[in-house]
Structure 1
Amino acid sequence: MRVLITNISPLRDAALYEELLRYVPAERQEKIARCGKQEDRRRSLGAGLLLEYGLRSLGCSLLPLVPGTETVHLVRGAYGKPELSGGTGVHFNLSHAGDYAAAVFDDGAVGIDVERARRVNVNVMQRQFTAAENAYLRSKPDAFLRLWTRKESYCKAVGEGLHLPLSSFDVLEDQVAGREASDTETVGREADAGDFYLYTEAFAKDYVLSFCTGHPITGCPVQNVDLRKLFDGIS
């Protein structure tokens, strides 16, 4: 497992922005161009750079003809989750918020979410949590970001996104038990494969990151990288 996080503030430098843009594929460049705000373009580029950097460390690339790598392509899973073509065995997920982008890589299903502290409507948000989680939040209101990022990372790991009600599972513990599929749900979902495990870190002031994977997490695998140096010495 590898988890990367980077501060995307240096991308405010127009020259650096243009220089690094060539390290993401045309599809990502088009996605970036569709972003209405410059800060959203920087976040999307930052996430794309982490994806390409992480893939190269695993012998893959989204760009053609990169020496020592297998060219792969992005495809969409059943619920729209981005995946890699070609049966590489590499799984990934991306997230960004504020001045940060993050990426996680593993050999099985993974999800990641990074969030920046913000004002929320507690009365609305409490419907997204279980009774136990709401009781926990009443005793520790500052734990909202911790629970929210864990919820989001789990949804992304199991590949269901908004199709999975956030109040249908509990993230107070670091282990989330596998669920049984109902008669109306798709059989064989990643969520049915077994338990998932969570890790959460407050890595900067007002920022929290959580990721989720199908195996126990040991140590602190989060690596903070300088995007200005990601591709040093690489043509």
Structure 2
Amino acid sequence: MLRLAVETAAWDASLQFDHFLAYLPAHEQEDVLRFFQLEDRKRALASRMLQRAAISAVCGVPLLPPSAIAVQRTKGRRPFTLNRAPDSAPNWNFNVSHEGSFTVLVSEPYAATGVDVCAPTQLRRRPGVPLLQGIVPFKSQFAPEEWSLIQSFAHDEALAGAAFQRLWSLKESYIKARGDGLGFEPLSRARFVFEGEDAWSARASVVVDGKPCPRWGFSLHELPHGHWVAVAKGDPQDIVDAQKGFTRTLRCPAPTDEELRRHTCPAFTIISMEQLLQPSSLPLQL
């Protein structure tokens, strides 16, 4: 299990970009270089390096040559690996997200996992437009209870913005863990309930189409500069994988409740790009 974050905005790539790029196969290098802006290239490169470092650390394969690490994608563009994880992590899977200053990765040994990082820049709106007015176009994506929660902080835009970020990231983390992406709509189908009915709790559960999902759990983490990260972990039997390439890699398709709940809410470790070149040093729990 891993919870990693790289502050890509702080990474000076001027002297190192090509060096890190060489760790990727040609087609992934092309994907990175399709971006025009340097910050977008940095995020794309960090995302791929996080994936490769995690696979190397867990599966015991070297970073070089790039062909030693087998990364594929589902029809919904979810990345997964064909490299075999140890028996202590029969369903090992990972997910990545990047936004604002951070690129993050999570992995789980049994549960399906998804992650989303939400930066305050995602709440940009026209100058002079109040936040609660600027987010009205998103109202249909929230359950009535969720929208009421956001509105309850109308007296404080910072709190309202944080409430919006947290709920939005929870929804994104859930559909990324499932793998159906845009096929899950509207997002209001998934209603999130914070533990103890505390809007700032670090844990949440989900009700989908009116039915509680007890085999799914969610955690929320605050990163520097106003970023929020949501992590989903749940039943791999709920994964949507049209081509079955990913689900065929899962060696324990029906884990127990105890197995799903391992490492329920670990914190993120912020690491440097340079640390990704030493996968054995990553803070790994299996």
1:145 aligns with 2:186: no
* Matching residue of 2:191: 170
Alignment match of 1:220 (pick from 266, 282, 285): 266
So what's the TM-score if we normalise by structure 1? 0.82
What is the deviation of 1:72?
4.0
Structure 1 residues 203 and 128, CA, compared in 2 at 3 Å: closer, same or farther? same
* Matching residue of 1:201: 221
Aligned length: 220
Identity score, percent:
24
Q: Distance in 1 between matches of 2:15 and 2:118?
A: 28
What is the deviation of 1:78?
4.3
* Matching residue of 1:81: 78
1:104 aligns with 2:106: yes
Please say which of residues 139-148 and 10-19 is displaced more in the overlay. Answer: 10-19
1:157 aligns with 2:177: yes
State the Cα deviation string for residues 181-223 of structure 1 (Å, max 9, x = none). xxxxxxxxxxx9x731111111112211111011335342311
Q: Distance in 1 between matches of 2:21 and 2:143?
A: 42
Is the Cα–Cα contact under 8 Å of residues 74 and 84 in structure 1 kept in the other structure? yes
* Matching residue of 2:257: none
What is the deviation of 1:55?
1.2
Please say which of residues 131-140 and 82-91 is displaced more in the overlay. Answer: 82-91
So what's the TM-score if we normalise by structure 2? 0.68
Instruction: Structure 1 unaligned segments of length 5 or more: list them.
Output: 181-191
* Matching residue of 1:211: 231
The code of the aligned residue for 1:75 comes to Q
Q: What's the Cα RMSD here? A: 2.8
Q: Distance in 1 between matches of 2:84 and 2:16?
A: 34
Is the Cα–Cα contact under 8 Å of residues 115 and 207 in structure 1 kept in the other structure? yes
What is the deviation of 1:86?
5.2
Instruction: Structure 2 unaligned segments of length 5 or more: list them.
Output: 86-90, 126-133, 154-159, 195-203, 235-259, 281-286
